[in-house]
Amino acid sequence: MSFDPTILARIQFAFTVSFHIIFPTISIGLAAFLAIMEGLWLKTRDPLYLQIYRFWLGIFAMGFGVGVVTGIVLSFEFGLAFAKFGQMAGPAIGPMIGLEVLTSFFLEAGFLGIMLFGLNRVGPKLHFFATCMVALGTLLSASWILSANSWMQTPDGIAIEHGRVVVTDWLKVIVNPSWPYRLPHMLIAAYITGSFLVAGVGAWYLLRGEHQAFGRRTVSIGLTFATVLIGCQVFVGDMLYGKMLEHQPAKMQAAEGFWEKQSQSPEPYYWFIVPDQQNQRNRFALGTPYLGSIWLTHTLNGRVEGLKNTPRDRQPVMGWVFYGFRTMYGLAIIMFGLCIASLWLRWQGRLFTTRWFLRTLVVMTPSGVIATLGGWYLAETGRQPWVIYNILRTADAVSPVPPSVLLSTLIAFVCIYALFMTAFLIFTFRMIRRGPQTAPSEPVSTGSLKHALKPAVMDDPAGRNPAPVE
């Protein structure tokens, strides 16, 4: 059996980047949340804020560690699986990746130790400063990575000479046309992810009748942040949609499920389709009448352009783009509805006692991560068949690596990352089950991973049984 190396390289990168993005998204959201909690504790000296900080600090540390390890892999994949991309785009992409390391990674590395292990060793103001610097580092990291990725989506500030990128304007490379919109969209998504994660765990405690003060405070704070952020995301997402429709119309046409060069009038809004890429049509479509024209053209009878306006060899695969967008958009609608419901319940004084609402919050705990993955698939599959939009095709960027090597490394990544995810989930669920009142003031060294996963160690809140150090 023979395999297409281009398909294998794309699957390998899609898997590794999908796994990786989970943890920076959580880290960015939790880092900002931790900075706010510690700031509130310093201002009010309310011990509950410190308890919240200590509880989420351990989960943040685990997510941050896995994110760093899996992020390093992506840099190697650029050179090993997509060497032609590196050869051509290196003069633009390389410095941005290097600046991400020099600014954000060094900033995080310099203050992370103080944040994790210095709560009882340095003054509270210095520790708060370290927490803020780590949060700033996560923001800077996202800024540089989104700048590089946005440049691949909407390249600017370059010329092509002898098959290589030559930078003519660094400001246009960094602040490319889509970056000012994609960066706030991604950051708000990360903060929403952290908000629903915090609120969902608090709701779980309230349903169980445990740690009531902790649960009430985290549900209240998480939903407050989520309500403000989801409102901002509506406007930012709409602006990003318009910008991408200007620069990548095929992506947004595929995201809406439209094929015809000019749609019917009025146009429905599709919620479910069965696309037929070969025949350039939908075998089945389920939508809401009139809503497509109203939502997309802001008129009752507006027409919408479809994917047939793009030559077939430049079209993305509609199914991936459509359902990536629907995953992100559908979850955003549910989040928005929950935030509106939370305002009503808060006004009625039933926010912490309405069990159907608390159960829904628990179910929605990972919703931010899933929505972010949907948005990422929309962005990346919608750019295809280009790795640098309208400049370099993905098929032309792949390294001449034997398919057997790509397949074996893909299998290895799946196995190793499954181990990472299993360990992360075990640690997180046991910390949640153990409860916030037993959270240590700082992470405790437990020696080997095998020892750390033992229930006796996981359930020992103060780390009284650490592994012997040899």
Share of the chain above pLDDT 90, in %: 41
Q: How many whole angstroms separate alpha carbon 134 and alpha carbon 113?
A: 10
Q: How many whole angstroms separate alpha carbon 139 and alpha carbon 319?
A: 32
Look at residue 158 and give its three-state secondary structure: strand
- Kindly state the average pLDDT of the residues 52-68: 90
Q: How many whole angstroms separate alpha carbon 311 and alpha carbon 231?
A: 37
- Kindly state the average pLDDT of the residues 448-457: 51
Higher pLDDT, 234 or 2: 234
Q: Residue 80: which pLDDT band, with cuts at 50, 70 and 90?
A: confident
Cβ atoms 130, 118 nearer than 8 A? yes
The answer, yes or no, to whether residue 463 has pLDDT greater than 60, is no
**Poorest-confidence range of 31-45, 53-67, 143-157, 439-453?**
439-453
Nearest by Cα to 155 from 176, 170, 169: 176
CA angle 432, 370, 54 (to 5 degrees): 25
- Kindly state the average pLDDT of the residues 402-412: 87
Domain assignments of the chain as residue spans, ordered by start: 5-246+314-443, 444-470
- pLDDT tens figures, 353-397: 999 999 999 999 999 999 999 999 998 998 989 999 989 898 888
The answer, yes or no, to whether residue 457 has pLDDT greater than 60, is no
Nearest by Cα to 266 from 242, 244, 239, 298: 298
Nearest by Cα to 179 from 160, 201, 205, 153: 153
Record the tokens describing residue 453, joined without a space. 């996963």
**Poorest-confidence range of 142-146, 167-171, 318-322, 454-458?**
454-458
- Kindly state the average pLDDT of the residues 220-238: 92
Record the tokens describing residue 391, joined without a space. 């400049």
For 161, phi then psi, to 5°, come to -130, 120
The answer, yes or no, to whether residue 124 has pLDDT greater than 50, is yes
Alpha helix positions (H), 302-393: 318-348, 355-363, 367-383
- Kindly state the average pLDDT of the residues 16-27: 90
- pLDDT tens figures, 409-447: 889 999 999 998 998 999 899 989 988 876 655 544 444
Q: Which of 66-80, 86-100, 164-178, 432-446 has the highest mean pLDDT?
A: 164-178
For 428, phi then psi, to 5°, come to -65, -50
Record the tokens describing residue 421, joined without a space. 């995810």
- Kindly state the average pLDDT of the residues 55-75: 87
Q: Residue 469: which pLDDT band, with cuts at 50, 70 and 90?
A: very low
- Kindly state the average pLDDT of the residues 328-339: 93
For 160, phi then psi, to 5°, come to -105, 115
Element (H, E) at 164: strand 164-167
Please give the mean pLDDT across all residues of the chain: 86
- Kindly state the average pLDDT of the residues 228-243: 90
Q: Residue 450: which pLDDT band, with cuts at 50, 70 and 90?
A: low
Question: What would you report as the CA-atom Rg of the chain, rounded to the nearest whole angstrom?
Answer: 24
Cβ atoms 414, 12 nearer than 8 A? no
Look at residue 156 and give its three-state secondary structure: coil
Q: How many whole angstroms separate alpha carbon 30 and alpha carbon 116?
A: 14
Q: Residue 245: which pLDDT band, with cuts at 50, 70 and 90?
A: confident
- pLDDT tens figures, 268-306: 888 998 998 888 888 998 888 878 777 777 777 777 788
Angle between helices 5-44 and 179-208 (to 10 degrees): 60
Nearest by Cα to 242 from 158, 177, 173: 177
Angle between helices 212-247 and 179-208 (to 10 degrees): 160
Q: Is the peptide bond before 266 cis (omega within 30 degrees of 0)?
A: yes
Q: How many whole angstroms separate alpha carbon 360 and alpha carbon 396?
A: 46
What pLDDT score does 444 carry? 47
What pLDDT score does 289 carry? 83
Element (H, E) at 274: strand 269-276
Higher pLDDT, 344 or 265: 344
Record the tokens describing residue 388, joined without a space. 């640098």
